[in-house]
Amino acid sequence: MYKRQIFNGPGKTLNELENAIKLDIHCINVDSFYELKLLDSIAERLKTKVKVSLRIVPEIISPILRTGISTSKFGFEKNEIIKAYRLALNLKGIEIKGIHAHFGSQISDINTWINGSKALVNIANKIYDELGLELEHVNIGGGLPVDYTKNLVTTHYEIPEYFKPDFNEDDVAKVIAESFKDLNFASSLYIEPGRRIIADSGILLTRIVNFKERSFNEKWLIVDAGFNVLLSSRVLQWYYPILNISKISEKHDTAFRIGGPLCDAHDVYHDLEGEEKKKPKLPKHRFLPKSSSPGDLLAMLHVGAYGPEIMMNFNGMLKPPIVMISKDSNVKIIRRGDRIEDLVMYEEF
Ligand SMILES: Cc1ncc(COP(=O)(O)O)c(C=O)c1O
């Protein structure tokens, strides 16, 4: 099971690294010179070799999550790459396996895939030319966009341009394959899609608990799930279509601002900061039936990726239960909802 695992991240602890080495995982993605030398010293102590891939930032910009540029906290800068591989070659405890980069999330611009894959191939070729190293794998990371226009529910909802990629995963595969034709040696291509695979498996049900109308005619619906449940809506600003399932047959034609229950002005389902800068990533309003009111149940779609693991108890909120509906319509609670006592479960007095 561990043989297929890659351990990645900018802040791995000594303990974690030792465990990964002992489990003989597929490889560790090294994030800095410090970590490379640390791994070598652990390898010497454990009398083994550590299989590594170096994470690099090829200066590829993605509009959401800029993980492929040197102003981010990740990996080796372009001008450090040869030095890092040379060092890795000279360290007795290190066995080089590959190279890794991850450009961002919801990469809906095909040019990012074209430029990113070309950049990785060029860098791998440079390593081959200068150090004679044939990397066993080239890992292009994740970030395949979720297509919110697929399997559209008939009800109207607005989809921001950025969340409507005009290509699919086959096109991404094609452009990557095209770039890899220029690789001067044989290597395996790794790709790490996350959200694209799992996002549409999840629906969040949330209830409208409050309503207000501002003097300037803006209608607000406050729901019982905020960024305590969907942190990604605040931090990553992923878009989640919203439907009123209590009134699913009514026309979704009235503009509402939607907010969560938390005592934070940013606990909303639009992009406040972006609106101030006149470049919002998310739609200002959501269109729901005019009669939407407290008690109605709303469904937020495409929440299946990362959601459950980044829910939290901020503001003393209870995490909701998670229900799994299998293909044969079996319904099963796979995580019970928090109880009030869970909030103090780990405290000691
Ligand atoms: C290194 C790496 N690979 C793959 C992924 C998956 O990305 P996504 O879910 O956007 O496809 C992530 C997400 O943060 C990541 O950091």
Residue at 347 is within a domain:
no
In angstroms, how far is CA 57 from the centroid of its own chain?
17
177 and 221: one domain? no
State the chain's mean pLDDT as an integer.
Answer: 93
User: pLDDT tens digits for 173-229?
Assistant: 999 999 999 999 999 999 999 999 999 899 999 999 999 999 999 999 999 999 999
pLDDT value of residue 152: 58
Q: Is 267 found in the same domain as 248?
A: yes
Encoded amino acid at 49, one letter: K
Q: Evaluate whether residue 36 is within a structural domain.
A: yes
- Same domain, yes or no: 183 and 244: no
Distance CA 98, CA 69 (A): 19
Residue 278 covered by a domain: yes
> Atom 12, ligand 1: which residue's CA is nearest?
142
Cβ pair 170, 132 in contact under 8 A: no
Q: How many domains does the chain have?
A: 2
Residue 30 — very low, low, confident or very high, per pLDDT cuts 50/70/90? Answer: very high
User: What is the per-residue pLDDT for 160?
Assistant: 77
Nearest atom within ligand 1 for CA of residue 67: 16
List ligand 1's pocket residues with C-beta within 6 A: 8, 102, 105, 141-144, 192-196, 305
Which residue among 55, 67, 102, 236 is best mutated to probe the pocket of ligand 1, counting the most ligand atoms within 8 A of its Cβ?
A: 102
Alpha carbon of 182 to ligand 1 centroid (Å) = 25
The CATH number for 299's domain is 2.40.37.10
Look at residue 348 and tell me if it is in a domain: no
Per-residue b or e along 284-303, where b marks 16 or more CB atoms closer than 10 Å to that residue's CB: eebbbbeebeeebebbbbbb
Q: Give pLDDT tens digits for 96-122.
A: 999 999 999 889 899 999 999 999 999
Asked if 181 and 210 sit in the same domain, the reply is no
How does residue 157 score in pLDDT terms, banded at 50, 70 and 90?
low
Same domain, 80 and 15: yes
Q: Is the pLDDT of residue 150 over 70?
A: no
251 shares its domain with 315: yes
HSE-CB at 292 with a 13 A cutoff on CA atoms is: 36
pTM equals 0.91
What is the per-residue pLDDT for 167?
A: 87
CA of 192 to the centre of ligand 1 (A): 6
Asked if 84 and 36 touch (Cβ cutoff 8 Å), the reply is yes
- State the Cα–Cα distance between residues 291 and 91, nearest whole angstrom: 68
Tell me how far apart the terminal alpha carbons of the chain are, to the nearest angstrom. Answer: 41
pLDDT in the model for residue 156: 57
**Backbone phi and psi for residue 300, each to the nearest 5 degrees, phi listed first:** -105, 130
In terms of pLDDT, which residue wins out, 22 or 232?
A: 22
245-303: pLDDT as tens digits: 999 999 999 999 999 999 999 999 999 999 999 988 889 999 999 999 999 999 999 99
Range of the domain at 56: 2-198
